[in-house]
Structure 1
Amino acid sequence: MLFATFRLISKMTVRKINFGAGPAKIPEEVKMSHRSKEFAAVLQETKQLLRQLMGVPENYEILFMQGGGTGQFAAVPMNLKGDHEFADYIVTGAWSCKAADEARKYIRVKKVFTPSKPYTTIPDQKLWDHDKVNCSRHRISQSFSFDDSKIFHCRILFIFQHGVVFGGTQKNLGAAGLTIVIVRKDLIGKQQQLTPAILSYKEMHDNDSLYNTPAVYGMYITNLVLKWIRDIGGVDAIFEMNKKKAGMLYDVIDNSNGFYSCPVDKACRSYMNICFRVQQGNDAAEAEFLKGAADRGMISLKGHRSVGGIRASLYNAVTVEETALLVDWMREFMASVYSSNVL
């Protein structure tokens, strides 16, 4: 049984009664100790599900940490620096830019190409200026790290090609608060002396991810999501579904005669986050599109505040049927604008 119950009064202690405005009291029936045998079973099962579904080799360790991908922007250079003084960073967007900026506090950083804003394309790899040995995402000590937050379990990933893969679970694997780190075992123990214990791969490895209190319920939710992925056919099935969903939206965009436009080069487009503009960025038209979508039960379509426009995030739990509703609204809205010629 997952939930452990506790008696209000024991022979040794009397529990305090919390009348505070917050943090508030949690019902005794739903409390669970991270040291309990029930949680130990959840932790090990979650680790095994990840290894099975992602094809994680035995020479890699799976760690459960906190701090999100942003915390790993510091953890990666701290843990992998070793005797090396520099790291190549492939900056393709705002988040990899943040990763490179954070890493500069702990190691010399070189960007393999000069990124141009907005981040809508990636230069040909032949033009990259990088160490030619095994360079992929961010290179440190001839290993590469990969921020996988948005695409965890949305497509096949060859773990053996990376030294470290990390990602928050809040996109495709559950609730916010849990960070999964998959690290090659020979890279553990090379941390800088200044590395905080909470960010140390060695400390987490040596303590089976229980150096401090973990995100207990976040891990439980991730456990359930992993079982759902397994039961619907695994990562292969998820990938095919996500390709289909993205294709449905891009088909409308590319065949709208410019009414909708995607600013990202086709070779660099995402399956997860489909960004587009309405009438080349007509603010009034986009506001009307968002209002109509909300009236039809489709929310959170407004683009990131740094770029504006529309952004449809098609994470794993978004179904093909739900995506079809958005496609229908895009076509309906385009037809209504053309017929009324108001906007």
Structure 2
Amino acid sequence: MTRAYNFNAGPAAIPLEVLEQAQAQFIDYEGAGMALMEMSHRSATYEKVNQEAQDLLRELMNIPDNYKILFLQGGASTQFAMIPMNFLSEGKAGAYIDTGAWAGKAIKEAKVIGEAVVAASTKEDSYMRTPKASEIVVPENAAYVHLTSNETIGGVQYKTFPEFANAPLIADMSSDILSRPIDVSKFGMIYAGAQKNLGPSGVTVVIVREDLIAESPKTIPAMLRYDTHAKANSLYNTPPSFAVYMVGLVLKWIKGKGGLAALEQYNLEKTALIYNVIDESNGFYVGCANQEDRSTMNITFRIKDKDEELEKKFIKESEAAGFVGLKGHRDVGGLRASTYNAVPLESCAALAQFMKEFQQRNS
């Protein structure tokens, strides 16, 4: 079969080698005579899968020993509610940095639970940049500071992270986790839906400092308490076992690529192919995000004068040429290429060539 040039924003590309390995083990997992999906999550076989995935993630991200790794369900959207439910005690406020659609959804959900304040916002700049540290005002009663490390819709990404002395930093890294090395110890908690850089949809990774979840409030349901899942090693209820297995395979693939430092350079090389076409197009293509805040995961751009008819033509012709997922998000329009870890260099080179040729035909 011919593989598509997959630039979907999520669910997104999974490494071909991982898919082939999963295919080979799909019906008969390691000689068990059954698929992993058919096995009890209490079995020694699945417990090994669960633990190996945790151990690999800890190794690749250099996660300190005083952090728990949880495999949960419900996506980042459930975390938007779980975070304030677990951390907003009486008299405390959640401080949120508003950088776009996903940060906005986290803020909206937090306000349902308790007090949430906007510590900084780039709304006046159409969410096309990240705020400077001097713009962030954190209230004294902040229980935590929350940010979205990479906004998939706007294509904006933090290059460095702010630090706060009196409140732990919590980051939604759904769309750029494992794309580069980070210092986990600078965060109280990191969470990410798997369906962009980690594997298939269905599992959400939470990396959280143990002292923050030592005793979750007894006033919320057990399934929504972090300590419930930490004490049970993510096996309190039936987990998304196949998705966790796939995450483990992706982590092995990342390790085989040389780890996060090597992957970061690979991602920069990939995205440079496309950004260079935009920057050298003499205004035919226009990047949306401020140059210093451009994402290496989601490249957002328009065609000159926001020509929607020409953009529709671009989408139609790109799809005919085998490209998938280049239409911008419905809320903002335009064009977007999501270049997550599993998107190969060859796909980015093919897109860059297509963009050049499209410009030549339509200038």
Kindly indicate whether residue 152 of structure 2 is the aligned counterpart of residue 127 of structure 1: no
**1:60-209 pair list within 5 angstroms:** 60-82=67-89, 84-116=91-123, 118-131=126-139, 137-138=146-147, 142-209=167-234
Give % identity.
39
Q: CA 1:166–1:114 in 2, change beyond 3 Å: closer, same or farther? A: closer
**One-letter identity of the residue aligned with 2:48:** A
Cα distance, 1:124 vs structure 2? 2.5
**Residue number in structure 1 paired with 2:321:** 296
Q: Aligned to 1:112, what secondary structure does the other structure show?
A: strand
Q: CA 1:29–1:173 in 2, change beyond 3 Å: closer, same or farther? A: closer
Structure 2 Cα separation of the partners of residues 271 and 29 of structure 1: 34
**Residue number in structure 2 paired with 1:263:** 288
TM-score (norm 1): 0.87
Residue ranges of structure 1 left out of the alignment (5+ in a row): 7-27, 339-343
Structure 2 Cα separation of the partners of residues 128 and 221 of structure 1: 38
For CA contacts below 8 A with separation 6 or more, give which structure has more relative contact order.
2
**One-letter identity of the residue aligned with 1:279:** K
Cα distance, 1:122 vs structure 2? 3.0
**Residue number in structure 2 paired with 1:21:** none
**One-letter identity of the residue aligned with 2:227:** K
**One-letter identity of the residue aligned with 1:49:** L
Q: CA 1:187–1:134 in 2, change beyond 3 Å: closer, same or farther? A: closer
Cα distance, 1:209 vs structure 2? 0.6
Structure 2 Cα separation of the partners of residues 309 and 159 of structure 1: 34
Q: Give the conservation status (yes or no) of the 8 Å contact 2:67–2:208.
A: yes
**Residue number in structure 2 paired with 1:9:** none
Deviations 1:99-152 (A, max 9, x none): 011011222111012442631123332122224899763589721210011011
Structure 2 Cα separation of the partners of residues 136 and 238 of structure 1: 28
**Residue number in structure 2 paired with 1:40:** 47
Cα distance, 1:57 vs structure 2? 0.3
Question: What is the count of residue pairs matched by the alignment?
Answer: 317
Structure 2 Cα separation of the partners of residues 316 and 180 of structure 1: 17
Deviations 1:58-111 (A, max 9, x none): 010101100111110011111222455212100101001110110112221110
**Residue number in structure 1 paired with 2:64:** 57
**1:332-343 pair list within 5 angstroms:** 332-338=357-363
Q: CA 1:194–1:3 in 2, change beyond 3 Å: closer, same or farther? A: farther
Cα distance, 1:325 vs structure 2? 0.1
Cα distance, 1:39 vs structure 2? 0.3
TM-score (norm 2): 0.82
Structure 2 Cα separation of the partners of residues 313 and 174 of structure 1: 15
Deviations 1:169-226 (A, max 9, x none): 1001110000100000011134333322222110001111111100000001111100
Residue ranges of structure 2 left out of the alignment (5+ in a row): 1-28, 148-163
Q: CA 1:234–1:222 in 2, change beyond 3 Å: closer, same or farther? A: same
Structure 2 Cα separation of the partners of residues 2 and 178 of structure 1: 22
